Amino acid sequence: MEFLYEPWPWYIAGPVIGLTVPALLLLGNKRLGISSTLRQLCAACYPSDIPFLNYDWKKDSWNLFFVCGILLGGFIGGWLFENPATTTLAPDTVAVLQSNGVHDVSGLLPRELFTWSNVFTWQGFWLIIVGGFMIGFGTRYARGCTSGHGIFGLSALQWTSLVAVICFFVGGIICSHLILPAILLL
């Protein structure tokens, strides 16, 4: 059980993530993809009269089981057997974050920023609410996320997924370098 208490190096985590591709294909011809579950939830809870949300979501309900598993995996790996507080984050990154006012770099998310009380500040509005909105809007517009395009699409050697992943990174790099520092100063 020792491995549950320690962070996994990239050369362990990466191959395990890659193995979900054949696991899902061999278990039931399912293609790895997670952003589609957001559409599933919309279709199940409030499809309204929107054609894009009126389809038989129950036919693909396997992916709702899959994401429940991810949530459970996060609970086991991040709460039950939390990684030790000492982080191996690059010192350069710590320096950049500290110069932007983020001092506590322990855990998985900055505890100073991702708090309930911060939801109602401008900072929290941009980081949590606008950020979340852009994930849901952008992934559906791109028809895939880091899993569907980044892991599955690239594994299937789809050039369109490569275009998507490049755009994900370009957006992320611009935002992390230019926009995030301004939000952190709010």
Partner 1 sequence: MKNLKYLFVGVVFGLALTKGEAISWFRMQEMFHFQSFHMFGIFMTALPVGALSIFLIRKLNLRTANGEAIDVPEKPYHHGIIIGGLIFGFGWALTGACPGPLYAQIGAGYGVTLITFFSAVLGTWVYARVKPYLPD
Which residues within the stretch 18-47 sit at the binding site for partner 1 (CB under 8 A)? Answer: 18-31, 34-35, 37-39, 41-42, 46
Other Cβ atoms less than 10 A from the Cβ of 37: the count is 19
165 close to 152: Cβ distance less than 8 angstroms: no
CA 97 to chain CA centroid, nearest Å: 20
Which residues, in sequence order, are CB contacts of 2 under 8 Å at separation 6+? none
- Output the smallest distance, CB 57 to partner 1, in A: 12
Other Cβ atoms less than 10 A from the Cβ of 35: the count is 20
Among residues 101, 122, 134, 186, the one that binds partner 1 under rule CB under 8 A: 134
Q: Which of 4, 73, 5 is nearest to 34 (CA)?
A: 73
Counting contacts by CB under 8 A, is residue 158 touching partner 1?
Answer: yes
| Residues in 161-180 at the binding interface with partner 1, rule: CB under 8 A | 161, 163-177, 179-180
181 close to 98: Cβ distance less than 8 angstroms: no
Counting contacts by CB under 8 A, is residue 123 touching partner 1?
Answer: no
Counting contacts by CB under 8 A, is residue 186 touching partner 1?
Answer: no
Q: Categorise residue 167: left if φ over 0, alpha if ψ from -120 to 50, beta otherwise.
A: alpha
Dihedral sign (CA 143, 148, 154, 157): negative
- Output the smallest distance, CB 32 to partner 1, in A: 8
Among residues 56, 79, 84, 185, the one that binds partner 1 under rule CB under 8 A: 79
- Output the smallest distance, CB 14 to partner 1, in A: 3
Counting contacts by CB under 8 A, is residue 160 touching partner 1?
Answer: yes
Among residues 56, 142, 182, 186, the one that binds partner 1 under rule CB under 8 A: 142
- Output the smallest distance, CB 122 to partner 1, in A: 13
Q: How many of the chain's residues bind partner 1 (CB under 8 A)?
A: 129
82 to 121: interface string for partner 1, x by CB under 8 A? xx---xxxx-xx--xx-------x--xxx---xxx-xx--
- Measured distance CA(20)–CA(28) in Å, rounded: 12
